[in-house]
Every structure is written in C-alpha cells, then in structure tokens.
Amino acid sequence: MDREAARTLCDQLSEAVTGRREFCDTVGVQRPDGSYVVARRRADSAGHRKVFDQFAALRQLYDDLPERFGADDVSTAGVTGGRRHLLVRHFVEHPAFDCELAARQPLTARKTSDGADGGDSDTRQR
C-alpha cells in the first residue's frame, strides 16, 4: 500500500470512529475514546453539554423513557437543569431516535415508533 492510500484509509477509519454532527439546536460528538457528547449548539461552557460513556448509554436512556416525555422524565442521575431540555431536543433532532416534537411549552417529545432498530452511533456529517 502506498503512502497516499494509507493516509486515505487512516482518515476513513478515524472518521468512522469519531465525528461531530450538528443539528439545529444540538451537536453530537463521538470521541475517540468511545464517549458520546451531547452539547448545545453555539455554547462553550460545560453547563451546556452532557457526556455519556458511549452512545449506547444515551440509547438506553431514550429506550427507558415513556412514549411522551419531557425534561422532567429525563431527570436521572447527572442530568439536571438545562441539560434535561438539551437531551429532549437532541432526541428529537438525531435521526437515530424515532421521535418528534409534540409541544414547545412545556417541551415535550413523542416517540413515533418502537425504536426496534436500535439506532446507530454514526455521528459523521452527511
């Protein structure tokens, strides 16, 4: 394999396991260590993001939510304040989660299917 082919393959592998995906209000970042970060778009402080050990932990949180859910339903250990709203918005925006915005006030989402596909952790920009 020549150097250029190796460099291309390295870039493709790196992109497959890491990445950043921006949505309207939120951002999802798959880190090289496997952790997944949900952050508020255009915000830099730690108060505007929630880090999960892996995307599967976010998926489990979503799966445990009722069919209609809001910020109060997302209140679990480590998820408080504005992060609760952030996660509801991320679930609505990320295509791996089958849900839609049901109401803006109070912020409420509704699952649109049973989510049997399990979603994916692909965070690459498409």
SS3 assignment for the chain: CCHHHHHHHHHHHHHHHCEEEECCCEEEEECCCCCEEEEECCCCCHHHEEEECCHHHHHHHHHHCCCEEEHHHHCCCCCCCHHHHHHHHHHHHCCCCCEEEEECCCCEEEECCCCCCCCCCCCCCC
Q: For residue range 1-56, what is the model confidence (pLDDT) as tens digits?
A: 898 888 888 777 766 667 889 999 999 999 989 999 999 998 877 778 999 999 99
Q: pLDDT digit string (tens) for 14-27?
A: 666 678 899 999 99
Structure pTM?
0.77
